[in-house]
Amino acid sequence: MAAQPEPRSILDLVESARSIRELIQSDPHRPIFHFVAPEGYAFPFDPNGAIYWKGKYHLGFIYQKRPTKDFTFDSGHVWGHAVSTDLLHWTLYPDMLNFTEGDREKGIFSGGAFLSKEGTPHLIYHGFGTGANLLACAADDDLKLWTKLTTPALKEDSPPNESFSVFDPCAWYDRASDYYYQISGGMKPGLFKSRDLREWEYLGNAVSGENRMRYEFEDVACPAFFPVGDKWMLLFISHTLGAQYYVGDFADDRFTPERHGRMTWPGGSFFSIEHLTDARGRNIVWGWITQHNKPAHLPDYGWSGIMSLPRVVSLDDTGVVRIDPPEEIETIRLQETRERDLVLQPDTETTLRTRGRSLELKIEIAGGKSTTPFGIKVFASPDGREQTVIRYEPAQQQVVVDFVKSSVAAPVSVPAFLFGKEVQPGFHPDTDPAHRAFVERVSAQRAPLQLADGESLILDVFLDRCVIEVFANGRQAVTQLVYPELESSTQIKVFSGNQPVAVRNIQSWMLAETNAY
């Protein structure tokens, strides 16, 4: 029997746990209905290993056994494990993947989950320090225990290694062909297939065709590949510009993209994307909301790590990608406020009755023939010193989150690249004018959104202390992190452009706290 710790040691741990919890919960910017790191610093906080299994949503998340405030390769990356029945309230399970003395890997990097031919949940991940993608399988029906397989899913010395990268992988089993498939991410993402999860045949680049539809300096990391409608979608990130996707056809062991879209734009915060399909056939995704732009002058409350709200990704009848919040969000709505329809004259604004820092706002704004921006202001102070502007720019056909005055320490600006210009090897923006704009600092995130003639701007906006998630017309979603500092910055305002606008269907709800840990 293992020796039990001294009683005083247990009491010290309890006291320390209480102290850190009190410190964390005193943070006015810590979200209350987004899933956040249970304790301490989590950087990175990649979602991983998501799977729907026997009525429960399982979500892995990277955290560090030896936490530091900044990323290091040797801080002991492992996968935590959270479980939910409603996508919003989470129970913490034992770590999904960890490593101990004697394990070949020295850290658990990103990967995904899939069902084997026999219907057993499996995990595929990149083992730091091994140069290999590795596998584990479920050892119990609750998915609390996982057994690592001895045979790697892919090794760096697998020929032809000059043609592909061995990095963040995803895998799936195709019943029609009786093959397993794997995408291994990186600057040279490779597509593979296998009969037995042991021997893998290289099929070529994971993204076929000459038209990359992304910048040359962007890698394909944290991939997730799945059918959506009658097409296939490849979700992935680049380490410079964040989350994005391809939609196309998968046939004859080739994925041929037809369209490309982004989920993060310069200045944004949406990163490291993960996917699962649930029992209803919904494709649900999460992203890590990076806190790379937190002002240095704010107090350190001893934590980092925020997950986005789950998003439901689908194709509409015309093949356009839809991105919607899950309907489960209705279960945490409190204190509904409805307001009368408004008509704003040109270049005016009005303050809504609803206010707060953690709420949902649904609103429709008919811009008429406006040629200048119109929209809303959130986290706004009465005197206008602090505000974040969510506007539609008709001339540019963009929905914009402008955070230049999001903090009283304005003007606020952040790097256009998520993690700076040095992330991608061989990328030299100082000598490459075509890419130089991406290393500038920006104060607004701009996402394309083309409104049809007569189409209103329909916003579903989630505010959670520092998080802003904007769902626009079901066709676009923008995530931004801001840090309002004034206690009075709780107002929401609506403003017009150079023509009258009709503001309709104004609904808002306070949202219940779901973080019980």
Rounded CA separation 431/427 (Å): 9
Q: Report the pLDDT averaged over residues 169-192.
A: 97
Residue 261 in tokens: 């879209």
Residues 399, 402, 406: CA angle, nearest 5 degrees: 145
Tell me what pLDDT residue 467 has: 98
pLDDT per residue as tens digits for the range 443-464: 999 999 999 999 999 999 999 9
Do 424 and 239 contact (CB within 8 A), yes or no? yes
Element (H, E) at 8: helix 7-25
Residue type, 165: S
In sequence order, the 6+-apart residues with CB closer than 8 A to the CB of 101 are: none
Beta strands in 293-348 (DSSP E): 303-304, 306-307, 311-315, 321-324, 333-339, 342-344
On whether the 336-403+443-511 domain is CATH 2.60.40.10, my answer is no
Residue 70 in tokens: 């900044």
Tell me what pLDDT residue 162 has: 80
Do 75 and 42 contact (CB within 8 A), yes or no? no
Residue 212 in tokens: 């990359």
Do 359 and 350 contact (CB within 8 A), yes or no? no
Do 362 and 352 contact (CB within 8 A), yes or no? no
- Kindly state the DSSP code that residue 399 receives in the 8-state scheme: E
Determine how many CB atoms are found less than 10 A away from the CB of residue 22.
9
Rounded CA separation 472/459 (Å): 5
Tell me what pLDDT residue 432 has: 58
Residues 55, 57, 62: CA angle, nearest 5 degrees: 155
pLDDT value at 479 more than 90? yes
pLDDT value at 161 more than 90? no
Tell me what pLDDT residue 515 has: 84
Tell me what pLDDT residue 69 has: 83
Band of the pLDDT at 422, cuts 50, 70, 90? Answer: very low
pLDDT per residue as tens digits for the range 256-278: 999 999 999 999 999 999 999 99
Q: Which residue has 């949902």 as its token pair?
A: 360
Q: How many residues does the chain have?
A: 517
Band of the pLDDT at 3, cuts 50, 70, 90? Answer: low
pLDDT per residue as tens digits for the range 366-401: 998 999 999 999 999 999 999 999 999 999 999 999
Tell me what pLDDT residue 6 has: 63
User: Mapping DSSP to helix (H, G, I), strand (E, B) and coil, where does residue 14 land?
Assistant: helix
Residues 80, 86, 89: CA angle, nearest 5 degrees: 55
Tell me what pLDDT residue 292 has: 85
Least confident of 59-63, 84-88, 239-243, 473-477: 239-243
pLDDT value at 495 more than 70? yes
Residue 277 in tokens: 């399909």
Tell me what pLDDT residue 7 has: 63
- Could you tell me where the DSSP H helices lie in 26-107? none
Nearest to 174 by CA among 190, 154, 191, 194: 194
- Residue ranges per structural domain of the chain: 31-324, 336-403+443-511
Region for 65 from its dihedrals, namely left if φ exceeds 0, alpha if ψ lies in -120 to 50, beta otherwise = alpha
Backbone phi, psi, residue 257, to 5°: -75, 145
Band of the pLDDT at 80, cuts 50, 70, 90? Answer: very high
Q: Report the pLDDT averaged over residues 178-190.
A: 96
Q: Report the pLDDT averaged over residues 60-80.
A: 92
Beta strands in 116-149 (DSSP E): 121-127, 132-138, 146-148
Rounded CA separation 283/314 (Å): 7
Element (H, E) at 18: helix 7-25
pLDDT value at 427 more than 60? no
pLDDT value at 8 more than 70? no
Give the range with max mean pLDDT: 50-59, 159-168, 438-447. 50-59
Q: Which whole-number Å values give the CA distances from 501 to 248, 354, 361, 447, in the listed order?
A: 38, 20, 18, 22
Tell me what pLDDT residue 424 has: 47
Tell me what pLDDT residue 425 has: 46
Band of the pLDDT at 18, cuts 50, 70, 90? Answer: very high
Least confident of 25-34, 141-150, 208-217, 226-235: 208-217
Band of the pLDDT at 415, cuts 50, 70, 90? Answer: confident
Mean pLDDT of the chain: 93
User: Mapping DSSP to helix (H, G, I), strand (E, B) and coil, where does residue 454 land?
Assistant: coil
Rounded CA separation 221/177 (Å): 26
Strand 146-148 versus strand 132-138 pairing type: antiparallel
Backbone phi, psi, residue 318, to 5°: -100, 5
For the domain 31-324, what is the CATH superfamily, name and number?
Glycosyl hydrolase domain; family 43 (2.115.10.20)
Least confident of 28-42, 144-158, 454-468: 144-158
Residue 85 in tokens: 């029945």
